[in-house]
Chain A
Amino acid sequence: MGWEEVQVRGDAEFVRTAQSYHGRPIFALFCGDKDAEGRSWCPDCVTAEPIVRKELHNLPDESVFIYCLVGDRAYWKDPNNEFRKNLKLTGVPTLLKYGTPQKLVEEECFKAELVRMLFTED
């Protein structure tokens, strides 16, 4: 079995989903919400998403890729939002391997090499 993608919105749904896949490698990409035309308010997320998606085929078997929308811009800018508090996220986009200290933040997500390293190496 290869890998599968799940799309969620908000911190509560994210945590529930991650917990339901406990035992499998879980990778997550956090991006700002998208408008009706499908464009995110976060320009870095717009740049990073296609780069990350291009590397998804490198995910190890059994992996789960959670694509998580964090909320609108105002919500994200609030220093006390749930993502900052609970998941310690410092910026969007953030790509991380759940349950480990391994993550890529903002411009680091633009580098295909680094994304590949996150997906394929221990």
Chain B
Amino acid sequence: SVQAHKEEDNPQKTMEVNGLMPVPDSYDYDLIIIGGGSGGLAAAKEAAKYGKKVMVMDFVTPTPQGNSWGLGGTCVNVGCIPKKLMHQAALLGQTLQDSRKFGWEFTEEVKHNWMTMTESIQNYIGSLNWGYRVALRDKKVTYENAYGEFVGPHTVKATNKKGTEKLYTAERFIIATGERPRYLGIPGDKEYCISSDDLFSLPYCPGKTLVVGASYVALECAGFLAGLGLDVTVMVRSILLRGFDQDMANRIGEYMKEHGVHFIRKFVPIKVEQVEEGTPGLLKVTAKSTTGNQIIEGEYNTVLLAIGRNPCTRKIGLDKVGVNINETTGKIPVNDEEQTNVPYIYAVGDILQDKLELTPVAIQAGKLLVQRLYAGSTTKCDYVNVPTTVFTPLEYGACGYSEETAVEKFGEENIEVYHSYFWPLEWTVPSRDNNKCYAKIICNIQDNERVIGFHVLGPNAGEVTQGFAAAIKCGLTKKQLDSTIGIHPVCAEV
């Protein structure tokens, strides 16, 4: 049943494409991927393995501050990679302080140089961008540094930075365009504020910074900026880390507060004005209370907006090919095979509705999708029990249900929470907090006390959580956990 309808006003196709049947070779490419980030590149490299003719289109629309970057997407350029490196820079500062208690003697004051750090990190990112281009070229995947948008059935238009347009056709498409930071929509936001898109390559030290938002992006950035010695304030509209276990979120906030990060709760900025030009300059922020009429003002060198990210789905011509998106959020609903409502168009990554916005999820989804399309596989991406880590100064690793969601789903009487504080051995000698690191597991009593949620707050949370995620995937029960002897002395033995 292969039928193609081409109508002037409403190009809805009813063409069914079955990977096992031979299909007419009347397209430029077997697969065109719009977006060269974690999901897009994983799919591209996988498809090349099966001898498919693949094109990747990647383009970065410059930020309001004029900033742009190379191939690799958010994670590599303005996300996970630089974030973790700057987090590490901040941790090293702490380690230097601790080292004196372990006998290291140095009389000089330890200072931090923003430019040195940023240059090293950007250099590394540059080598990753280049590595991706070599990989694609080596595997014969065509890479176009151009903005891709649908213009008709099976057809996309690619516009490069010089404005040159080219048309390409493909049998199938994967949309992997990711997201960009949201702005507040208040006077002065685009002119004077920066976002995570700008922070990691900022050519000057941000100085006294106001971070607006309570997302993990906001808290991670606030955390490392404070760790590098800067004066940091976080302005929060309501709660911290929406969607995460709230008890853990509050512990993270408390820790940050006790370690020098200022919090302004229940306020939103309504205006940003420039007091002085400069790198950095001085900005005046006016904010209004969410619970009354109180207005406050503050001056900062830099204002970093981290209030959420919007999917890049509104301006890629989805209406021209009839792909449905959620009009409010911009996200694309897909079935459990990452297929949109248009059978030959798929989507992976952050733009998917109701799926986790994580690099490894996008990579896995992209790879498995391509294996299903071209290698006869039937394995679908498993979105359940995906582990994650928030790299705040006190790191938080989690896998599975938060306490609230578990209570909601199973009922309070049916879950049991086991928890414990722990004091990392490495923190004892330098007299660091002995009552902050914390871990808990949430068990389903009715299912053999199966561990359905794992949460840990402490150093190297990501490393600790990874192994537990595998155990949870295997159906770990409390009894099995109890009978597993711990490694000593490490945090994970708790």
Tell me the residues in window 131-182 of chain B with beta carbons closer than 8 Å to chain A beta carbons: 133-134, 137-138
Interface residue A100 (Cβ < 8 Å from any Cβ of B) = yes
B113-138 near A? 1/0 per residue, CB < 8 Å? 00000000001101101100110011
Are A101 and B126 in touch, CB under 8 angstroms? yes
Count, A-B residue pairs, CB within 8 A: 24
| Bound form: Cα–Cα A100–B124 in Å | 10
Interface residue A104 (Cβ < 8 Å from any Cβ of B) = yes
Chain A residue nearest in CB terms to B133:
A117
Chain B residue nearest in CB terms to A103:
B130
Chain B residue nearest in CB terms to A100:
B126
Chain B binding site: helix, strand, loop or mixed by DSSP?
helix
| Bound form: Cα–Cα A101–B76 in Å | 15
Cβ–Cβ < 8 Å partners of B137 in chain A? 113-114, 117
A110-122 near B? 1/0 per residue, CB < 8 Å? 0101100100010
Are A104 and B126 in touch, CB under 8 angstroms? no
A38-49 near B? 1/0 per residue, CB < 8 Å? 000000000000
Cβ–Cβ < 8 Å partners of A108 in chain B? 134, 138
B217-237 near A? 1/0 per residue, CB < 8 Å? 000000000000000000000
Chain A residue nearest in CB terms to B70:
A122
Partner of A111, one of B123, B126, B133, B138: B138
- For the complex, count residues of B whose C-beta is within 8 A of A: 10
Interface residue A102 (Cβ < 8 Å from any Cβ of B) = yes
Chain B residue nearest in CB terms to A108:
B134
Say how far B119's CB is from chain A's closest CB, in angstroms: 12
Chain A binding site: helix, strand, loop or mixed by DSSP?
mixed
Cβ–Cβ < 8 Å partners of B134 in chain A? 104, 108, 114, 117
Chain B residue nearest in CB terms to A117:
B137
Cβ–Cβ < 8 Å partners of A103 in chain B? 130
| Bound form: Cα–Cα A108–B134 in Å | 9
Tell me the residues in window 67-93 of chain B with beta carbons closer than 8 Å to chain A beta carbons: none
Say how far A6's CB is from chain B's closest CB, in angstroms: 24
Are B138 and A101 in touch, CB under 8 angstroms? no
Cβ–Cβ < 8 Å partners of B130 in chain A? 100-103
Tell me the residues in window 91-105 of chain A with beta carbons closer than 8 Å to chain B beta carbons: 100-104
| Bound form: Cα–Cα A104–B15 in Å | 44
A73-105 near B? 1/0 per residue, CB < 8 Å? 000000000000000000000000000111110
Chain B residue nearest in CB terms to A121:
B133
Are A114 and B126 in touch, CB under 8 angstroms? no
| Bound form: Cα–Cα A100–B133 in Å | 14
Cβ–Cβ < 8 Å partners of B123 in chain A? 101
Chain A residue nearest in CB terms to B127:
A101
| Bound form: Cα–Cα A58–B267 in Å | 58
| Bound form: Cα–Cα A121–B142 in Å | 13
Cβ–Cβ < 8 Å partners of A113 in chain B? 137-138
Say how far A113's CB is from chain B's closest CB, in angstroms: 6
Cβ–Cβ < 8 Å partners of B138 in chain A? 108, 111, 113-114
| Bound form: Cα–Cα A102–B70 in Å | 12
| Bound form: Cα–Cα A19–B468 in Å | 53
| Bound form: Cα–Cα A114–B134 in Å | 7
Say how far B123's CB is from chain A's closest CB, in angstroms: 6
Say how far B29's CB is from chain A's closest CB, in angstroms: 18
Cβ–Cβ < 8 Å partners of A121 in chain B? 133
| Bound form: Cα–Cα A103–B123 in Å | 13
Say how far B162's CB is from chain A's closest CB, in angstroms: 12
Tell me the residues in window 14-73 of chain A with beta carbons closer than 8 Å to chain B beta carbons: none
Chain B residue nearest in CB terms to A111:
B138
Cβ–Cβ < 8 Å partners of B124 in chain A? 101
| Bound form: Cα–Cα A111–B129 in Å | 19
Say how far B200's CB is from chain A's closest CB, in angstroms: 16
Chain B residue nearest in CB terms to A113:
B137
Cβ–Cβ < 8 Å partners of B133 in chain A? 117, 121
| Bound form: Cα–Cα A111–B123 in Å | 25
Chain B residue nearest in CB terms to A97:
B130
Chain A residue nearest in CB terms to B130:
A102
The 5 lowest CB-CB distance pairs between A and B, nearest first, are: A101-B126, A101-B127, A102-B130, A101-B130, A117-B137
B residues contacting A by CB (< 8 A) are 123-124, 126-127, 129-130, 133-134, 137-138
A residues contacting B by CB (< 8 A) are 100-104, 108, 111, 113-114, 117, 121
A-B contact pairs, 12 of them (CB 8 A): A101-B123, A101-B127, A101-B129, A102-B126, A108-B138, A111-B138, A113-B137, A114-B134, A114-B137, A117-B133, A117-B137, A121-B133
